[in-house]
Structure formats: structure tokens, C-alpha cells
Amino acid sequence: MTNLQNTDLNNQPMEKGDFRYLMLVCLVASLGGLLFGFDTAVISGTVDMVTTQFSLTELQSGWFTSSAIVGCIVGALVAGWLGDRFGRKPVLIVSAMLFFVSALGSAIPPNFRSLIMARIIGGIGVGMASVLAPLYISEFSPPRVRGRLVAMYQLSIVIGILAAYFSNFMLQQHAQDYIAASSGQGFLHHVLIAQVWRSMFGAEMIPAGLFFGLLFLLPESPRWLINAGMGKKGLGILARISGAETAQKEYDEINASLLHDTTSIKELFRPGLRTALMVGIGLSVFGQMTGVNIVIYYGPSILKQAGLALGSALQYQVALGIVNLIFTLVALSVIDRLGRRPLLIGGMGAVVVTLATAGVLFSLGNIPGLLIVLVLGVYIASVALSICAVIWVLTPEIFPTRVRGKAMSIATLSNWGTNAISAQLFPWYVATLGMHVGFFTFAGICLIATLFFWRFVPETKGRSLEDIEGLWQPEGRKGEG
């Protein structure tokens, strides 16, 4: 008898593996991405209000936006080591606690310094989750559906971004309606209405609490358990996921890969794996230099410069979030069928064109705001279909189990480091040189990125994590394009 728990996403037998169990585990782990997306995007609705309230300069405004990213760098830096030492699950639980503390602290800060500290704490949680959540899902997933399951993490990021956009818009509308209908000056009016940015941050406490509670229901990563000497327990989890026969084969492959070398980080700089490290860092750096997070952080400011009022800018940013969600779903549905390379390279080509088009429109001036929204919509669709979907799938795939946590930390650290620099400098850069120069700069970098991906990124669809390790050996690279 064949039912949902005994079939994979292609309706193929899973050797009596429990598919519902696999999906539940991956879904809960992917909630780390939802908080990642919410925490990243919620800032967009608060920048102008916080800048006004605390009389910030352009560089201070950039520091407000990038302060969480500094925390992300710290979180990414320690997450791999902590995950390898204590397990994936305990570190994810800590990240959920940090999300909650940050949301509360960002909603009630008495001054700008306290707000920055709360944002840094949340950033540490984001950095830890961005390393370990996709890694955890990757280590759980069978090769034939791993792309789609790991892409659930990116889908959750997009849902979190959309939730933050929608929450910001609704809270702003509610505040405007309340102020128009009332002249109250009480505590509620002051904190939740006149300073609505506080409730925008506080809304994150709800998903943070949910993520924290659900994590206790999850098992540890089977590959981490095997690597840590708890092979019997890891084999039992693999058997529940894929069935006894496949589990035993995976167990033997994992053990064989662990015998090849030590877990020293120096291994990543040896021939073969240093190419994998270069690809991981390249994906992370170029992923940020598409400008996608700049649009997320400063979207309302960009749209206001295109002539739209704040309320309309927030409304259209919700529309951009919906486009992001739709095309992330498209990417998730085809990534295991079309592969990683076609989505990555083809989509990045479209990103180059749309960024250059946006640069042209801003340089011309007096262009209808809706036209800018349309171009940014095509840009968001392109980036969602390509690198945003592929990066979280491909990065944990390309590293061996024995160094995967440390390697993910290095790659993700590069991601957040680039993000911090770009977010910090963007307001000053466009104020000095113009918005059009900003878009042209991103377009040029993305052209270089497309050529890099075409040259160095291998196809990994349908391969086990242990098979992918062989791609980085000289004989494994033959025939890879």
C-alpha cells in the first residue's frame, strides 16, 4: 500500500521511509529562515522613523541598518564551531532565544544605543540560524529531494520578508487611522502609534516564540550523530527517513568519508576542497552584491526617491514581497528537475539586465514611480528564481560532513560581511553619487558573478553529499561544466 509517508516528491517509493516525518522536521527547521527574513525585512519600515526620532546622520542611519548584520557576522563565525561541537539542534534553540530577546529589546529601547544592542543580539541569532538551519535540512534530506527541501529554507526567508512587509504596512495604516480619529496622548498612543516602529519590531516575538517551542520536538542531525560517535542513533533516524536498506548504504558512505581525513579547518585549503571553499565564498559574496538585501532594507526609501509617498511605498513593497514568494515557489518546484546551474546562471543574466534598466530609469529622472516598481518586480523575480534559491541549497551540499559546519561558517561569514559593508555604505554612496550609480554598480558586479558561476559551479542535483565531495577531486571534475 502506497501513501504519502512512503513516497517522495516525485511519487517514487521511499523504501518505507516516513515522508511526513521528514517534511515535519524540515518544515520546523526552515522556520529559522522565516525569522531570518522577518528580522532582515522589518528594518525597511523603521529606517525613516528611527532616523527622524533620534536625529541620525546618513552614516548613523546606515549603522542602524547594518548593526544587526554585525551580529550576523558574529553568529555565523561561531555557529559552525558550536554546531560541530554541541550539535545542530542546541545551537538552533539558542538562536531562537536570541530572536525573541532582540524583538523585545528593539520594541522598548529608551535610546538609540539600546536599540543598536538589541539589533546586534538579533543579528547573532540570524547568523547562527543562517549557518545551521540549511545545513541541518541538507543533512536530513535524501539526494532526490534535497534541493526542494533545503529550498524550503529560502521559501521561509521569503515568507518572513513578506510577513514583515505586511506587518509594517498594516501597523503603519493602523497608526495613521488611529491618529486621524483620536487626539489621545496616553502611553499606548505614544509607544504603539506615534512610535509605530516599536510595534513593528515587537511583532517578531510571536514567530520567535513558536520557533523556540517547536525546536524541542526535533531530533539531532543523523550525520552529526554519526560523526560524533553515536552511529546507532544516527542510523535509526536515517532508517526512519529513507528505509533500512538506503539508510545502511548512507551510513556506510558517511563513515567512509569520515575516515579520509581529520576535521581540521586546514583541510579546506588543500587542493580540491579549496575550490569548494572558493565557490561557497563566491556564492555568498555575489549573492549579497546582487543588491537584493539593499532593496529589502531600503525599499521604501528607494521607492520614495522614485516619487511615491511612504504609505504607497510600503504598499508596493508588499507587492514586491508577493513577487518574491511566487518565484521562490517556482524555483522550489523545479530545482531538482532543472538543476542548480541553469537557475543560477540564467537567472543572474536577467538580474544584470534589470539592474542596468533601473539604473537607466533613475538617471533619466521624472520616471513614473510605477515603472520603477515594475522593473524592481522583474528584478526580484529574477533574483528569487536564481541565486536566492540556489545559495542555501548549494552551499551546504558542496562541503564534506567532517568540515561542513566550519565551512558553512566561513561561507556565511563572507555573506554577512559583504552585507554589512553594503548596507552601511549604501545611503552615503547613493547620496554622493546618485541612485542610478548604485544600480549600475550592482549590475556590473552581477555580470562578473554570472561569469564566475558559469566557470566554477558544478551541478549537484541527484547526488549524495558524499558523491558531491568527489567532484572536487581532480578526477571528479572531469566532465563538469
Alpha-carbon gap, residue 226 to 7, rounded angstroms: 25
Q: 336 in a domain, yes or no?
A: yes
- Would you say 49 and 98 are in contact if contact means Cβ atoms under 8 Å apart? no
Q: How many Å is the maximal CA-CA distance in the chain?
A: 74
Average pLDDT over residues 372-395: 89
Instruction: Find residue 13's DSSP bridge partners.
Output: 7
384: cell is: 528569487
**pLDDT, averaged across the chain:** 82
Alpha-carbon gap, residue 280 to 221, rounded angstroms: 22
**Which one, of 417, 387, 407, lies nearest residue 469 by Cα?**
407
Q: 481 in a domain, yes or no?
A: no
- Would you say 139 and 221 are in contact if contact means Cβ atoms under 8 Å apart? yes
Q: What DSSP string describes 354-386?
A: HHHHHHHHHHH----HHHHHHHHHHHHHHHHHT
| pTM greater than 0.85 | no
Q: 186 in a domain, yes or no?
A: yes
Give alpha helix (H) positions in 306-339.
310-338
* Residue 152 CB partners (closer than 8 Å, separation 6+): 26, 27, 30, 33, 137, 332
Average pLDDT over residues 313-328: 83
Average pLDDT over residues 181-204: 70
Q: 41 in a domain, yes or no?
A: yes
316: buried, middle or exposed (CB in 10 Å: 19+, 13-18, 0-12)?
buried
Alpha-carbon gap, residue 417 to 242, rounded angstroms: 38
- The pLDDT of residue 214 is 95
Average pLDDT over residues 213-242: 90
162: buried, middle or exposed (CB in 10 Å: 19+, 13-18, 0-12)?
buried
Segment 369-376 long-range contacts (CB within 8 Å, at least 24 positions apart): 369/303, 369/306, 369/307, 369/308, 369/312, 372/302, 372/303, 372/306, 373/303, 373/306, 373/308, 373/316, 373/319, 373/320, 376/295, 376/302, 376/320
Give the confidence band of 188 by pLDDT, cuts at 50, 70, 90: low
- The pLDDT of residue 352 is 96
* Residue 99 CB partners (closer than 8 Å, separation 6+): 35, 39, 122, 125, 126, 129, 204, 207, 208, 211, 212
The SS3 assignment for 13 reads strand
Q: What DSSP string describes 150-208?
A: HHHHHHHHHHHHHHHHHHHHHHHHHHHHHHHH----SHHIIIIIITTHHHHHHTTHHHH
How does pLDDT run across 259-303, given as a tens digit for each residue? 654 555 676 777 767 888 899 999 989 988 888 877 876 777 787
| Residue that wins the pLDDT comparison between 16 and 36 | 36
Alpha-carbon gap, residue 247 to 35, rounded angstroms: 32
- The pLDDT of residue 445 is 94
- The pLDDT of residue 179 is 61
Q: 227 in a domain, yes or no?
A: no
- Would you say 74 and 127 are in contact if contact means Cβ atoms under 8 Å apart? yes
Helix axis angle for 310-338 and 146-181, nearest 10°, is 170
At 397, which CATH number? 1.20.1250.20
Average pLDDT over residues 249-257: 80
Of the candidate ranges 347-351, 433-437, 475-479, the one whose mean pLDDT is the lowest = 475-479
Q: 228 in a domain, yes or no?
A: no
How many alpha carbons lie under 13 Å from residue 145 in its C-beta half-sphere? Answer: 20
Structural domains of the chain, count: 1
Alpha-carbon gap, residue 24 to 434, rounded angstroms: 47
Q: 244 in a domain, yes or no?
A: no
Q: 188 in a domain, yes or no?
A: yes
Output the CA–CA distances (angstroms, integers) from residue 333 to 110, 149, 152, 438, 461, in the order listed.
46, 10, 10, 33, 13
What's the domain range around 346?
Answer: 4-218+261-471
